[in-house]
């Protein structure tokens, strides 16, 4: 997918952003939100990606000032951008780096080279954010790469948040959006969205929801969550046929959503189950109670990452216990849902984080400081 560049009355910088799609579309999801955010602020962006297929449903309308480019590519005729950003240490192609080096030699000006790292609430993020890493070998010898860490404190790079996000939330019409999705709700029916991998505790969650005195509709996202739900429901129907006899729980399977409609889903629900990085941030901005399924790592490093996030958002004790069971950190049964208490905690966390500067604003300022160090004024935005 290629979106033609348009001419801006106040042109910004040309950004080259590199992304490798590893799995689950989190890499491309974060990269696209960043590209679109930069473009909305007057920047021009080329997104170099090895698999752009997900953008067909994730961002079907494209974005002005963003051009999607194939990677790998013949970079011999490519002039490097004013800023080069690699997402999550994806290792830019050596021939492109050679072009950066050639530009530096020809102009005497170094291109800001940034590695956007993974999101974490752990203490090392504050220590590592913004650190330079001189390149000592290979085609980039003599260049400097800087590490930019998203995060939850003022001493980090912040979280992605578009300038118009709050205005869009305020304009959001929940009933109209649900009607567009063909979702006719029962009176007083609670909505819970489910975006997950394959949590072992999913059957237990279904049992709890089916026992709720208030009707519950589970909105299941497309992909792995739908597959996990089908497996869990089939197993429960086989082993415990009467598990939902009261029919208090309804399940709706959703189509693939664009990023905008995924935001709408989180805003419409009374509670959200999310996974990975991008959806966690969007759940925080939704201001609704959320449960995060962290991507599991073989060395259990994700346990510390989970605890750091729970501490940062000041999650209530019951919500912390639920998270540990949901993520198989604890063998304890799932805590009983407490939407009232968890909602207040989610709103307070959102309020605290909204005070902090967003990632894109900080990134633009950071790039400006690097260019100033090299004696280059930052172009108008």
- Which residues form the catalytic set? 27, 277
Residue 145, beta-bridge partner list: 113, 133
Q: Do β-strands 144-148 and 132-134 pair in parallel, antiparallel, or remain unpaired?
A: antiparallel
Q: Are 1 and 62 in contact (CB under 8 A)?
A: yes
| Phi, psi values for residue 270, rounded to 5° | -85, -20
Q: CA-CA distances (angstroms) from residue 133 to 90, 141, 293, 297, 326?
A: 15, 11, 32, 26, 38
DSSP 108: S
Q: Are 59 and 259 in contact (CB under 8 A)?
A: yes
Q: Cα separation of 157 and 149, whole Å?
A: 5
Q: Are 160 and 130 in contact (CB under 8 A)?
A: no
Three-state SS at 293 = strand
């Amino acid at each position: 997918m290629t979106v033609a560049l348009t001419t801006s009355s106040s042109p910004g910088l040309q950004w080259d952003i590199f992304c490798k799609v590893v799995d689950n579309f989190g890499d491309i999801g974060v990269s696209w939100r960043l590209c679109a955010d930069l473009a909305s602020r007057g920047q021009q962006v080329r997104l170099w990606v090895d698999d752009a297929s997900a953008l067909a449903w994730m961002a079907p309308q494209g974005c002005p000032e963003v051009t999607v480019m194939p990677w790998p590519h013949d970079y011999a005729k490519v002039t490097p951008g004013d800023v080069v950003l690699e997402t999550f240490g994806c290792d830019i192609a050596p021939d492109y780096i050679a072009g950066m080096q050639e530009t530096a030699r020809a102009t005497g000006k170094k291109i800001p080279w940034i590695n956007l790292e993974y999101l974490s609430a752990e203490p090392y993020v504050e220590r590592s954010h913004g650190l330079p890493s001189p390149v000592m070998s290979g085609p980039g010898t003599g260049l400097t790469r800087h590490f930019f860490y998203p995060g939850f404190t003022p001493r980090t790079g912040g979280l992605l948040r578009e300038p118009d996000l709050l205005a869009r939330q305020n304009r959001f019409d929940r009933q109209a959006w649900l009607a567009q999705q063909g979702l006719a709700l029962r009176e007083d029916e609670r909505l819970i969205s489910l975006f997950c991998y394959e949590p072992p505790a999913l059957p237990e969650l279904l049992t709890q929801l089916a026992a709720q005195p208030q009707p519950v509709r589970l909105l299941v996202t497309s992909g792995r969550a739908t597959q996990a739900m089908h497996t869990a429901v089939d197993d429960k129907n086989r082993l415990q046929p009467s598990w939902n006899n009261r029919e208090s729980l309804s399940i709706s399977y959703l189509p693939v959503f664009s990023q905008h409609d995924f935001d709408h889903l989180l805003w419409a629900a009374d509670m959200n189950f999310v996974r990975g990085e991008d959806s966690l941030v969007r759940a925080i901005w939704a201001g609704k109670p959320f449960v995060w399924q962290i991507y599991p790592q073989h060395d259990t490093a994700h346990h510390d990452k989970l605890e750091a996030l729970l501490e940062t958002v000041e999650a209530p004790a019951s919500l912390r216990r639920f998270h540990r069971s949901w993520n198989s950190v604890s063998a304890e049964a799932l805590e009983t849902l407490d939407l009232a208490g968890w909602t207040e905690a989610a709103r307070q966390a959102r309020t605290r984080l909204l005070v902090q500067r967003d990632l894109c604003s900080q990134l633009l300022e950071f790039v400006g400081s690097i260019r100033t160090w090299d004696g280059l004024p930052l172009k108008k935005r």
